[in-house]
Amino acid sequence: MAVVIRLRRTGRKNLPCFRITVTDSRFPRDGRSLETLGLYDPLRKDLAQQLKLDQERTQKWLAAGAVPSEIVQSLFKRMGVFPKKPLVRRKRPGRKKVIAARTNRKNAKKLDNTVYVVPEAIDKEVAKLKLKSMGTTIDTLTAAQVKYMATWSEGT
């Protein structure tokens, strides 16, 4: 039997009110429940009156393995049933790319639109370093690679 904590709708048309209940996951939404933990009235203006919850019983059911629905979980966070996680500032990995793109757009007219020729020795060394960083090695070239290398010309 999978036990869940979810909302059970009560009230009337256009005036919803919900009971926070512990039920078997196979029971229908408004069907039989094992226990009622509290009341949620989304139309109340006073936040203290909007949500009433027996936190002691809630902790007991959570410790027993009951799984709250997404909405009930957000209500629990509001009430402080779950401990709040410490605020961690996350790094923004794409920030440098955005700044570089913005700079390139500003300086687009100033930049040269030319292709620079790199000496073959430096080009091979860069290719080896790149392959090494990827953990790849090339011992011999395939026939298709040899054919491609023969057709390659500078500046293409």
According to DSSP, residue 99 is labeled: H
* pLDDT at residue 30, as a whole number: 79
**C-alpha pair distances (Å), 58 with each of 33, 37, 47, 65, 132:** 14, 7, 19, 11, 56
Dist. CA 39–CA 49, nearest whole Å:
9
Secondary structure element (H or E) that encloses residue 20, with its range: strand 15-24
**C-alpha pair distances (Å), 144 with each of 130, 138, 141, 147, 148:** 21, 14, 8, 5, 6
Cβ atoms 3, 72 nearer than 8 A = no
Please choose, from the candidates 20, 63, 60, 68, the residue with its C-alpha nearest in 3D space to the C-alpha of residue 41: 20
Dist. CA 142–CA 87, nearest whole Å:
54
* pLDDT at residue 20, as a whole number: 92
Domains and CATH numbers, the chain: 3-79 (3.30.1320.10)
* pLDDT at residue 18, as a whole number: 92
Residue 3 — φ and ψ, nearest 5°?
Answer: -95, 130
Per-position pLDDT tens, the chain of length 156:
688 999 999 889 999 999 999 998 888 877 888 999 999 998 988 877 888 888 888 888 888 888 888 888 888 888 777 655 555 555 666 667 777 778 777 777 776 777 777 787 888 788 888 888 888 777 777 888 778 777 766 655
